[in-house]
Structure 1
Amino acid sequence: LIWPSPNGIGVMDQALYDQTVNVAIEGGVLSAAPDAGAFRTDLAAAALEGIDGDTTGAGFSKISVELNPGGE
């Protein structure tokens, strides 16, 4: 959900938001869906306008990380 982010970092996908709401309702976390104004992309879109760098993760590639016991 975070990276890569095809819509731009910080921009939530409507379908994934709807899925989260449905799971929360079915699981009893929410009693009803939030009002329509709860889902917004305008603020993130405005923030992305001022960024020239890669905001979608198009150049992202996973790296291998070795985990050591105790974090050393």
Structure 2
Amino acid sequence: MYVEGSQYGKSIRTCCDSYQIDSLKNQLSLAESFLKRCPTCIYNFRQTFCYLTCAPYQNRFMVANETVDYS
């Protein structure tokens, strides 16, 4: 797991490496330009995509409906 420093001085454990986090950050910055007048909206939007992409406990809120074998 990659550990990234948070805005509150604590560490955050994620299932993303630094490349994935940078990519997510860049992609979210595009949407934030539309939400810039609402800091709470930006926070919630960012939090949602961060959880969906990098949360180490996705099994608590995501369920696989189908799997595909790519081998």
TM-score relative to the length of structure 2: 0.28
Q: Which structure has the highest helix share of the two?
A: 2
Q: Larger relative CO (CA 8 A, sep 6+): 1 or 2?
A: 1
Q: Which structure has the highest strand share of the two?
A: 2
